[in-house]
Structure 1
């Protein structure tokens, strides 16, 4: 049974989000539960933090955050620590990652309060939330599950119901292998990509490294240690290795999603790849000249891509980490078969379409609006087909066509 906990200290807001999320989640999910004893749950988190730092085990004491598959937190909640300092929802997300057994974490209203769709796309890699959204978007079905084609479903949103199980799978795998494993080797990043990493992507994983070998040598333990007090991480790995593995998977998935896949020039997913190079569509999947075929592309896996690229360039565990298939772009771009495939391409006429990031479908370009994301480089401009009544921000990112 999937459990969802709502952490909001204003009763009216809590009730509203319980109702809204209840209507949005898959029918197999139980209704979300509001956190009842906020002061007691907060107090126990800080008591666990003291115990961790003193080398004591306090896990037998009940904490209201334990055992929830999804935690939804309001950034503006009022939480006081042992020193009577006020802590935010972001700090609660961090503490729950370290001190409680929670799965996917949603933080509301930290970076925007009024946008349903964030035109920047880049997310917030340093946040301990898996996703940061405005509260007005948290009850949209597309955040929680698959929706009818064409409904509001931002491509950068995870489908939370799908990722809960995959995160557990990855955490168990990492727990078996150990957090002294190389991050790069665990995810299977090829040399062609490793050598193409921009500074900010490299440094998020290892601030002190200089070479590709340094990055390959970076362990999950070291990665976490540069984000969280190193002594806390060492004690957590020793006392709660399963929780430490889940924390490492969550932080690595955020890095992969926002910094490696997001720009579409290190990893590239199926819709953006075929939009860029339609001649890579496998003939058995369909004819790129047929507009109807393109509506199947966003839900397709690697079967939409021709051989041998789909086998030799694929990120093999992409769907576990990211919820969607993807390929390593630097490896694919240099593949010996690309030139041959391009020269043999018989695409008669590709429809005048663009991938709408807010709907996760292809739409005719005359119906779409182009915008500038935060991502620099060749693929930073994307498209949306705005819904009436929904807010897209920052507005100045939308371009005149």
Structure 2
């Protein structure tokens, strides 16, 4: 099988070698090294590639552009990349050619997302070399699918979800399994290629009543045409009207369906991130397995008094392999599971179900001494963890971290420890 390509660029060549080494270590430990080629992009090739992407942007505004059947030599590396990793600070790459130094990794991420065939984009070091976001929301303005720090590149658990009892270190729960995220990218694009004019809420089976009750921060991201309600917003309207898809000048020339393949790629990437970083952190719209088990401990099918059985459910694996009574809650599972990085369930539907309430007594049957740590993807005894308040509108704001001071993790904003 042909290896997939990971492309890396930073304006300091010595740092690229270090990034590549860390990636190789992480992939090797995860057992994925045979599946990927890691290529460092030279500065001249990078500059030429970006000029091609900028020309495509100009062509997009003035006429037709077909990314599926077009690949100029200079941009071929990016077009063929499965993953593009780009450092945020690119001042050194422009010292001679752009004295203003206006180019950043975020600007490049937008160009790559909209005007190339690259699948996943990882932004590097915009928020530090080893950050953990205590808001749990991330930066939805970023067109990177995932934002990391350079010290996190060698973490093998970026590339797997079935770590079992083997892991004990820093691994933020919001990180996806990058292999799965990559595997399902084309499927998400195909999902909406012919459904651009379908409401987002209808596509994901979000009830109208549920959508009307979503917190303002969540619905604001997808925006809405003036004459519609948020639950009526289509994928096309999101990409072209929300301000979180195409930029204003890039949407002006959209007068037919010749550019729908681009809208589908942008929509798939941005809405997937919306689900992961705005909807899921609330844990009262969609709820994942560890947070669900804390509310309904009797869903765990093995001995609930053993913490190792709780940790079996804190993995990014298929829902029926988690060690939960998933048959009971199957009617409430989010079925578009290739759109989100872990099994999740509709919380309101689940908790209001008569069948569930007859069998499960929430919050009573077992009161464990452990908590789920968002920075470790693991349950630990509460006395060894640190509490913080996430930036959510739901009642489930109280969360915990293991607090890895020895790894020099940069927890921010630190005020969330004292709220």
- TM-score under structure 1 normalisation? 0.88
> Cα distance, 1:120 vs. partner?
2.4
Once the two structures are superposed, the pairs formed by residues 64-213 of structure 1 within 5 Å of their partners are: 64-78=77-91, 86-110=102-126, 112-146=127-161, 147=163, 148-175=166-193, 177-208=194-225
- For residue 382 of structure 1, report the CA deviation from its aligned partner: 1.1
Q: Aligned partners of 2:225 and 2:254: how far apart in 1? A: 23
> Aligned residue for 1:270?
289
Name the CA shift for 1:137/1:343 in 2 (closer, same or farther; >3 Å): closer
Asked if residue 38 in structure 1 is aligned to residue 32 in structure 2, the reply is no
RMSD, aligned CA = 2.9
2:23 aligned residue: 21
> Alpha-carbon deviation of 1:131?
1.3
CA contact under 8 A between 2:224 and 2:238: conserved in structure 1? Answer: no
Give the one of 392, 396, 400 matched to 2:414: 396
SS in 2 for 1:189: coil
Q: Return the alpha-carbon distance in structure 1 between the equivalents of residues 256 and 329 of structure 2.
A: 37
Gaps of 5+ in 1: none
SS in 1 for 2:284: coil
User: 1:218 corresponds to which residue?
Assistant: 233
CA distance in structure 2 between the aligned counterparts of 1:131 and 1:124, rounded to whole angstroms: 9
Distance 1:245 1:342, change over 3 A: same
Question: What are the Cα deviations for residues 300-357 of structure 1, in whole angstroms up to 9, with x where unaligned?
Answer: 6544454665222111123x1122000111222322334433459983x443111111
Q: Can you list the C-alpha shifts for 1:93-116, whole angstroms capped at 9, x where unaligned?
A: 011111111111111122x21434
Residues 285 and 348 of structure 2 are in contact (CA less than 8 Å); yes or no, is this contact kept in structure 1?
Answer: yes
- In the alignment, does 2:86 pair up with 1:61? no
For residues 85 and 398 of structure 1, the distance between their equivalents in structure 2, rounded to whole angstroms, comes to: 34
**Superimposed CA distance per residue, residues 254-281 of structure 1 (whole angstroms, 9 cap, x where no aligned partner):** 11011110121211101011112213x0
Q: Does 1:294 align with 2:310?
A: yes
SS where residue 387 of structure 2 aligns?
Answer: strand
Contact 2:129 2:148 survives alignment (8 Å): no
Checking the alignment, whether the CA contact within 8 Å between 1:369 and 1:398 is kept in structure 2 is no
Alignment of structure 1 residues 243-282 onto 2, 5 Å: 243-279=262-298, 281=299
For 1:32, what is the secondary structure of its paired residue?
Answer: strand
**Cα separation, partners in 2 of 1:385 and 1:335, compared to 1, 3 Å:** same
State the Cα deviation string for residues 279-309 of structure 1 (Å, max 9, x = none): 3x05xx3243343321211136544454665
Q: CA deviation at 1:246?
A: 2.0
Contact 2:290–2:372 (Cα < 8 Å) also in 1: yes
Q: Is the 8 A contact 1:359 1:384 kept in 2?
A: yes
Does the aligned pair in 2 maintain the 1:18–1:31 contact within 8 Å?
no
2:335 match: 316
Distance, in Å, in 2 between the alignment partners of 1:371 and 1:345 is 21
Mapped pair 1:50 → 2:61: no
- In structure 2, the CA distance between the partners of 1:316 and 1:57, relative to structure 1 (3 Å rule), is closer
Distance 1:237 1:128 in 2: 25
Alignment CA distance shift 1:239-1:8 (3 Å):
farther
C-alpha contact 1:192 1:331 (8 A) present in aligned 2: no
**Maintained 8 Å contact 2:64/2:258:** no
User: In the alignment, which of 371, 375, 378 is matched to residue 388 of structure 2?
Assistant: 371
Structure 1: distance between partners of 2:407 and 2:362: 46
Cα distance change of structure 1 residues 149 and 84 upon mapping to structure 2, 3 Å threshold: closer
Q: CA deviation at 1:231?
A: 6.5
Could you list the runs of 5+ residues in structure 2 that have no partner in the other structure? Answer: none
**Structure 2 CA distance, aligned partners of 1:250 and 1:329?**
24
Deviations 1:191-212 (A, max 9, x none): 342132011211211244587x
Paired residue total:
392
